[in-house]
Amino acid sequence: MCHRLLDGILDFFFEYETPRMVTVRNKHIGIIFRFIQLAVLMYIIGWVFLHEKGYQSTDSIISSVSVKMKGVATGNVSGLGQRVWDVADYTFPSQGSDSFVIMTNYIVTAGQREMVCKQHSSSGTCKSDRDCFAGQHQRNGQGIMTGKCIDENGQNTCEIFGWCPAENDTIIPEPPLLLAAENFTMFIKNSITFTRFRVSRRNLVESVTGEDLQNCIHHHLQKPLCPIFRLGDIVSAIKQDFPSLARKGGMIGMVIDWSCNLDLPDTHCLPTYTFHNLHGDLDQISTGFNFRYARYYREDGIEKRDLYKVFGIRFDIMVQGKAGKFNLLQTTVAIGSGIGVFGLATVVCDLVLLNFLPKRDYYKQKKFKNAETKPQISESKD
């Protein structure tokens, strides 16, 4: 018993088993087999290694963005006269970040004070006092209703307690007050880090000099690395008309892409800039971009404010990117996965060979060897 057990252990350690190989001379199966192998090889070389760079390990970026605007505009504003707008007037917030607004048009309601007055008809009309619920605020109202329905100039509206005179935002200046914003420039500074590879880069790359920053304007072909952008060129890039966009505002997405192959020197890691229309077509419902803000002051001991409904272009700057660098482990995994895919050729060919060809029974006999569950014992001769 012990002898048999020892023999079994020795057989386990010192025997090697190999699959049975059967060579099939069939041109149809041969063509299918080589075609699948060629397709897999092209996939591994073309897609996995060349396109996806499967031999590299990758890392995403950590990024920061700052923006500075330059430009001055002037024009006449109803009720205020001649005005000049500089960076402090038309940029919100004043310290540029990765999301900011450039004012291109606005409606001003000057000299408002807290008192009782008639709200504008654009907020709704009334037929009697019963339509104006005292102490409540309508969804589109401009103050707290007093409970009175008043008639002025043939229009019945609710009386309110709020900032008066009530705002009339139905008449949007045409042409836009800051049409000169088309020539405003935007200077973008972007710093990124690939922490895994300890590589840091700025969009002020080696080829951008101090002289360039004084004179260059970004152009996707002639000056693709210049970090100074003209607003009119950005709007043209998203195939929009600047005066139409400036009248009611809009939203533009700017993408800074860092796709870097760090097998090359770091100086080859360069940004690319693209722009996207985020506000939709101008003929759709509720297009554009606007917000309100107020400037408060005291006059004759009374607190007053000038209310501005600002139309502008909102910029959202998004930074994306990925860096890759040769890694032996990643290369080994990619090659191993590719070798495994080669097994697909064998599976397909066996499926056809053993199930669809006229001689499938003959091939099955050659490929499989059946072992009897009970070995036959021959009778000994007397």
Q: Report domain extents, the chain.
A: 25-54+327-367, 59-109+174-325, 120-165
- Dist. CA 190–CA 245, nearest whole Å: 27
Question: Between helices 360-367 and 328-355, what is the axis angle to 10°?
Answer: 130
Q: Which residues are annotated as a binding site?
A: 68-70, 185, 290-292, 309
The single residue listed with the structure tokens 């505002």 is: 249
The per-residue pLDDT for range 291-302, each reduced to its tens digit, is: 999 999 999 999
- Dist. CA 160–CA 118, nearest whole Å: 6
Q: Write down the pTM of the prediction.
A: 0.79
CATH number of 25-54+327-367: 1.10.287
Q: Coil, strand or helix: which one is 246?
A: helix
- Confidence (pLDDT) at 269: 95
pLDDT tier for residue 382 given thresholds of 50, 70 and 90: very low
The per-residue pLDDT for range 192-225, each reduced to its tens digit, is: 999 999 999 999 999 898 888 888 999 999 999 9
- Confidence (pLDDT) at 373: 52
Q: Coil, strand or helix: which one is 182?
A: helix
Domain 25-54+327-367 and domain 59-109+174-325 have a common topology:
no
Residue 381: pLDDT over 70: no
The per-residue pLDDT for range 93-148, each reduced to its tens digit, is: 876 678 899 999 999 999 999 999 999 888 888 889 999 999 998 888 899 999 99
Percent of the chain scoring above 90 in pLDDT: 50
- Confidence (pLDDT) at 6: 73
CA distances from 240 to 191, 228, 236, 280 (A): 30, 20, 6, 10
Q: Which residues are annotated as a binding site for ATP?
A: 68-70, 185, 290-292, 309
Q: Give how far the C-alpha of residue 218 lies from the chain's centroid of Cα atoms, to the nearest Å.
A: 21
Which CATH number is 59-109+174-325's, of 2.60.490.10, 3.40.140.10, 2.102.10.10, 2.40.30.10?
2.60.490.10
Residue 52: pLDDT over 70: yes
- Dist. CA 93–CA 367, nearest whole Å: 76
Q: For 171-189, what is the mean pLDDT? A: 93
Say if CB 319 and CB 113 are below 8 A apart: no
